[in-house]
Amino acid sequence: MSGKAEYKSAVRSRKMIRHAFVELVLEKDFEKITVKNIVERAEISRGTFYAHYSDIYAIIEEIENEIMGKMVDFLDDFTASELIQNPMPFFVKMGDFLQQDIEFYRKSVLVQGASCFIVKLKDVLIEKIISYQETIQSNQERQEYILRVHLLVGGQISIYQDWLAGKFDCSLEELTESVSQLMIQGFQPYTFK
């Protein structure tokens, strides 16, 4: 088998395993899921599973690391003031990433325990935007800014989570544009240098 075909096969196997795992978590408690359940659902052999993952926890870790890595990569492309002045390019990058496997991410937000990971994502975004507070002179304005960041970022994460869960009837593009405008309006009191 050529290297390229081998790579495609490995990518396909990992994707099948991840999808099977998420489907199973939606059906029963995580603690009751076995490797056997996953390989049966994914229609692969145990050997294929173990060629990619040491255990079930390795699947979770890979999913979290992948999403967190993408978020950090995207955030590194922007300064805090750029995120506040025009968050649209950041949201577009995240949307493009989600669109690559949207059904998987839709199911993932419904998984028990996803809320802990979503808190980690929120904290990374908050930390990036809060770094702008150093340019604010008064302590009172700085405190208000920090509260505003938590409110707006928490709300934004919640909106995307609800959209993925099917609670909003709009396209990802429409959602991104609306959330970007809300974020811009929410930070209007601050001037940028």
Provide the mean pLDDT of the chain: 85
Q: pLDDT tens, 74-115? A: 888 988 888 888 889 988 998 888 888 888 788 777 776 677
SS3 content of the chain, % helix, strand, coil (to 5): 80, 0, 20
Beta carbons within 8 Å of 180's beta carbon, 6+ residues apart? 86, 87, 88, 91
In the predicted model, is pLDDT for residue 48 greater than 90? yes
Alpha carbons 103 and 99: distance in angstroms, whole number: 8
- Residue 43 pLDDT: 94
In the predicted model, is pLDDT for residue 7 greater than 80? no
Q: At what angle do helices 56-76 and 3-27 cross, to 10 degrees?
A: 110
Q: pLDDT tens, 117-134? A: 888 888 988 988 887 777
Residue 42 Cα distances to 96, 117, 166, angstroms: 26, 24, 25
- Residue 51 pLDDT: 94
**Spatial contact of 56 and 21, defined as CB atoms under 8 Å apart:** yes
- Residue 191 pLDDT: 57
